[in-house]
Amino acid sequence: MIRIKDIETLGGMLLHPTHPILIDLLKWTVVRYSDTVFTCGWEQRKIPSVHSMIPLRGMDIRSRIYDDPQSVADDINAHWEYDHERPGMKCAIYHDTGRGRHIHLQSHDHTILTQNAISESS
């Protein structure tokens, strides 16, 4: 089931276009972890981030609905590569930036579904 936290989050998701790679990452995540709650889409921010870029490149999902949210983030990162030129960057980050723990999903122009994920689906 796909849910959205509140009307402000929905507005932030619909206000601007979403990067096509982020759309693919979100769809993959929803299929793999059917119960997904989106908690943050596009937001105006003083410091630029993937949440304030157009097209939108970042979205947050609620982590408390999963038994082990860190393993969800690790699984996403095992199947998605953020940017081959920056291997330290990840597509999924389980963290708290002051508004509660959540899984932050992000994409880049170089983000790809890894060969492991492609092999699993064959």
Range of the domain at 73: 2-121
Q: Is the pLDDT of residue 122 over 70?
A: no
Amino acid 34 reads: S
Q: How far apart are CA 42 and CA 60, in angstroms?
A: 10
The model's confidence at residue 119, banded by pLDDT at 50, 70 and 90, is low
Q: How far apart are CA 74 and CA 53, in angstroms?
A: 25
The token duo for 69 is 């949210």
pLDDT digits (tens, 9 = 90+) for 57-90: 999 999 999 999 999 999 999 999 999 999 999 9
Q: How far apart are CA 104 and CA 109, in angstroms?
A: 17
| Total of domains in the chain | 1
Other beta carbons less than 10 A from residue 117's beta carbon: 17
pLDDT digits (tens, 9 = 90+) for 3-26: 999 999 998 889 889 999 999 999
